[in-house]
Amino acid sequence: MRTFDPERFLETKESVLASEREVRGIGTLGEKSLHLILKNYYEPLSALHEQKLGRYVADILNEDGVTEIQTRSLSAMRRKLEAFLEVTHVTVVHPVVHNKWLSWLDPATGETTKPRKSPKTGTFYDAFWELGGIPDLLLHPNLTVCLVMLDMEEVRFLDGWGNGGKRGASRCDRFPRALLSELYLSSKADYAAMLPPALPEVFTRRELAAAAHVRSDRRGVDALIRVFKATGILSDDGMRGREKLYRRTDAPSNPDET
């Protein structure tokens, strides 16, 4: 993979957006612009893009192996991923949104509102819902997951219903404002480092949710538990009343043991 370089990322973004909008026009890029920016950032040589390997075409095929840019569902690429993992190293790049700005485009007038920042702040834990879609592959010796933290801007059409056409509105475009950080996951130790440091040796799902500052639902804490169990970081440890208990695998098996 290329060296982390936020300045080059911005240069790549501007180049890709200028080229694509000249050819296709605003409102036709959608998720494709984000995919193209990431692909050109991680491999600037276009000759190494869209390379056939076996039955599938890799986003990038170079001296590092295959790099796949997956901006949405990781489970959707399972068959392709399994085929690539049999023959070479694979890096899956998956974006995570830290801050998001949202603006609205009126398709009748072409006017766009000033971007407004969402109050929600994303973390790397937001990717665990997608990681849970390929739990058995996460520790494959040929797989590295690269989570890319981005500030994003999204433009939506005012073509929905209710609230001035905002409900059910369709996306016009989505593109990054900045590259903030990267997190590489390929080993049990990498996933273990994602456990909140303040977490006790034995804990409930509610305690994990509080320590990780995630929602106590299936896209929040349940997604963390699924990934941590799949990578051998957590194990079941009985019950506390009606609440299920979990134990870090590096903790002693006896709760009283020191």
Amino acid (one-letter) located at 140:
H
Fold of 6-186: Trna Endonuclease; Chain: A, domain 1 (3.40.1350)
d(CA 66, CA 59): 7
Fold of 191-248: Arc Repressor Mutant, subunit A (1.10.10)
Residues 71/34, Cβ–Cβ less than 8 Å? yes
pLDDT band at 174 (very low <50, low <70, confident <90, very high): confident
In sign, the C-alpha dihedral spanning 81, 69, 160, 21 is negative
103-118 average pLDDT score = 90
Selected residue with higher pLDDT from 256 and 67? 67
Give the lowest-confidence range in 60-64, 99-103, 191-195, 249-253: 249-253
Residues 221/208, Cβ–Cβ less than 8 Å? yes
Residues forming CATH 3.40.1350 domain(s) in the chain? 6-186
pLDDT band at 27 (very low <50, low <70, confident <90, very high): very low
Instruction: Give the pLDDT confidence score for residue 9 in this predicted structure.
Output: 97
257 pLDDT more than 60: no
d(CA 249, CA 36): 40
26 pLDDT more than 50: no
Instruction: Give the pLDDT confidence score for residue 20 in this predicted structure.
Output: 76
253 pLDDT more than 60: no
Instruction: Give the pLDDT confidence score for residue 2 in this predicted structure.
Output: 76
Contacts of 167 (CB under 8 A, 6+ apart): 160, 161
14-27 average pLDDT score = 72
- The phi, psi pair for 81, rounded to 5°, reads -65, -45
Per-residue pLDDT of 179-217, as tens digits, reads 999 999 999 999 999 999 989 999 999 999 999 999 999
Residues 81/130, Cβ–Cβ less than 8 Å? no
pTM of the model: 0.89
Residues forming CATH 1.10.10 domain(s) in the chain? 191-248
Contacts of 34 (CB under 8 A, 6+ apart): 71, 95, 174, 175, 176
Q: Which of 24, 155, 161, 180 is nearest to 96 (CA)?
A: 180
156-175 average pLDDT score = 82
